[in-house]
A = this chain, B = another copy of it.
């Protein structure tokens, strides 16, 4: 008897985009410093936590499938109509939705080789063909993406800005230039998960054929709540409503996100404390003779000199109870990615890294 499996699922290989720290703990590692998933150790806004606790008492009611209050609040803040705000279960969920709304099996998409893998995962999950453009000088290569999009007739181009894992960032003018260089019916998806850590607000006015993605997982400190939104032209919302699961966003997350949008001081404070932590990590690297890249995010890429040494550091840190991740592909695979946490955590990490470097004169 053959199993009833779709052509697309049958064509895909089994793969796990991210091994979670919980899975590592189930393998026997005891993690006491969780610096690997770019989570915000500063936590959610106290107002958001209170709103979520309150919402937890009434989860027996369904959520509002239109997320209307949140869309109004986001629209007011971003100065766009609520109809252009599409709320979804995190950027991951929105990437999956976008791929389903926009792509056919065989459609070409373009992304940066080694950038956020969940986009690639979502695109392959609808049978799209993924073309990857390498980083150029450890930055996203906007010119290269535009060229590839034209060459492959791409229906969609994905740019994380600020980028994960490179930490690089491009200003509004550079993105407008990219948009202008793309065919007008190629959708530009800007994943702005880390925007709160980046300089300047970016462009507010939506660009044509562009979707900007925002999340409550990073500076808002609500990674586990699974909620984010897309800013898009109205056609996207109309099409998305034909495909999306209308009740997919948790009501507790809706309440927390609304409270967090209404507490912008919290996010500002997180961004500023994160920037302090970034300086600490850069200073630590300098004092240890390690290079590190500039960043516009809540993480720092630390240069271990070679992929082999970076892999060894990752493994040995895990044995010491420190959960980190690293880019898997050149040119970034000689770096280890360190998420900036609380001052105490950075100080503890500094001690551990210093001891590791000193004992590792065996290099």
Q: A15-B242, A253-B250 are in contact. Are A59 and B222 (CB under 8 A)?
A: yes
Interface residue stretch chosen among A1-9, A163-171, A328-336: A1-9
How far is the CB of A237 from the nearest CB of chain B, in Å?
10
Min distance, Cβ A212 to any Cβ of chain B, angstroms:
16
Interface contact B63-A246, CB-CB below 8 Å: no
Would you give the 0/1 interface string for A89-116, flagging 1 where the beta carbon is closer than 8 Å to chain B? 1101100100011111001000000000
Is the CB of A34 closer than 8 A to any CB of chain B? Answer: yes
Q: A256 contacts B56, CB within 8 Å?
A: yes
Chain B residues whose CB sits within 8 angstroms of the CB of A52 once the complex forms: 53, 56, 59, 252
Cα A209 to Cα B8 with chains together (Å): 19
Binary contact readout A194-210 vs B (1 if CB under 8 angstroms, 0 otherwise): 00000000000000110
Q: How many residues of A contact B (CB 8 A)?
A: 91
Q: Which of A44, A103, A226, A249 has the most CB of B within 10 A?
A: A226
Give the residue of B4, B62, B68, B245 whose beta carbon is less than 8 angstroms from that of A209: B4
Q: What's the least CB distance linking A98 to chain B, in Å? A: 10
Given contacts A56-B53, A246-B17, contact A239 B5 (CB under 8 A): yes
- Determine how many copies of this chain the complex contains: 2
Q: Which residues of B contact A68 (CB under 8 A)?
A: 22-23, 26
Residue A57 interfacial (CB < 8 Å): yes
Does A33 sit at the interface, judged by CB under 8 A?
A: no
**Quick one: which of A92-144 are within 8 Å of B by CB?**
92-93, 96, 100-104, 107, 118, 122, 125-126
User: Among A182-190, A283-291, A344-352, which stretch is in contact with chain B?
Assistant: A182-190
Contact indicator B156/A14 (Cβ below 8 Å): no
A222 CB, nearest partner CB in chain B, Å: 5
CB pair B60–A42 under 8 Å, yes or no, is: yes
Residues on B with C-beta less than 8 A from A103 are 6
Known: A39-B62, A62-B39. A4 touches B224 (CB 8 A): no
CB pair B221 A59 closer than 8 Å:
yes
Partner of A65, one of B18, B241, B251: B18
Chain B residues near A16 (CB-CB < 8 A): 241, 246
| Contact (Cβ within 8 A) B93 A6 | no
Q: Chain B contacts of A13 at CB under 8 A?
A: 242
Is the C-beta of A172 less than 8 angstroms from some C-beta in chain B? Answer: no
**A223 to B, closest residue via Cβ:** B62
**Bound-state Cα–Cα, A256 to B187, Å:** 39
Starting from the known contacts A20-B66, A90-B248, A226-B250, 9 additional A-B residue pairs (CB-CB under 8 Å) come to A3-B185, A9-B243, A14-B238, A22-B68, A23-B68, A37-B61, A52-B56, A52-B59, A59-B223
